[in-house]
Amino acid sequence: MDGTKSGFSRALKAAFPATVPVMTGYLCLGFAYGVLMADAGYGVGWALLLSVICYAGSMEFVTVSLLTAAFDPISALLMSIMVNARHSFYGLSMLGKYRGTGWARPFLIFSLTDETFSLVSTLELPEGVERRDFYFWISLLNYGYWLLGSAAGALAGGVLPFDSTGMDFALTALFVVLFLEQWQRRGNRPAGLIGLGCTALSLLLFGADNLVIPAMILLLLVLLGGRRKLCA
């Protein structure tokens, strides 16, 4: 039992430093989301509840506008699918890493955000640390950062006057930072260039409102095609 607790603690100590960049981003992003919720007339309880059960930063920002618009569940469902379709590709690529994680697997699947995917897919497992525990702590810490930021933003937004104009751009800014961080590793640059190229092509062909799913499909086809050539 003591060995299990010790291994769990080692995993936490190894995971926390890796999540610090996400912590700074999530606290700011969550705060911005909380302020937007308060500005829309929803208290800290609603902001936190949505973060607990939805935990999809980009969709949570979209949900703020959906909550203040006319009731249209079909449009909301389609919007959610469009915004979060990329997670299906994340999930497919995590099948190997999450295999054999036992009791932690449902939570790992639920908490697989863009930033958590970026860490789990690129970090090397520290020596002496259980894979399941390491991935669990990364996912749980990131989840906690988002909840904390959401609650703080909603509390502050309900008390202090805020001009929320432009706050939704915080999510885009975090994606840019994550891309630049990945770009520093030479081995990640070809994938980054492929991503940029596929996205730019989808933007030209389908427009800004419909590029996400075509870009993801194109990325999958290109990467699978490249893998087959390498394996041939």
Domain ranges of the chain: 2-167, 185-232
Residue-wise pLDDT tens digits, 96-122: 889 989 999 999 999 999 889 989 988
**Residue 44 pLDDT > 60:** yes
Q: How far apart are CA 198 and CA 204, in angstroms?
A: 10
Arithmetic mean of pLDDT, 206-229: 76
Tokens of 66: 């959906």
Signed CA dihedral, 26, 32, 34, 37: sign only: negative
Average pLDDT over the chain reads 83
Arithmetic mean of pLDDT, 145-150: 95
DSSP string, 156-199: HHHHS----TTGGGHHHHHHHHHHHHHHTSGGGHHHHHHHHHHH
Where are the strands (E) in the chain, listed by range?
none
pLDDT category of residue 185 using cuts at 50, 70 and 90: confident
Residue-wise pLDDT tens digits, 15-38: 999 999 899 889 988 998 898 888
Enter the pTM of the model.
0.73
Tokens of 105: 């697997």
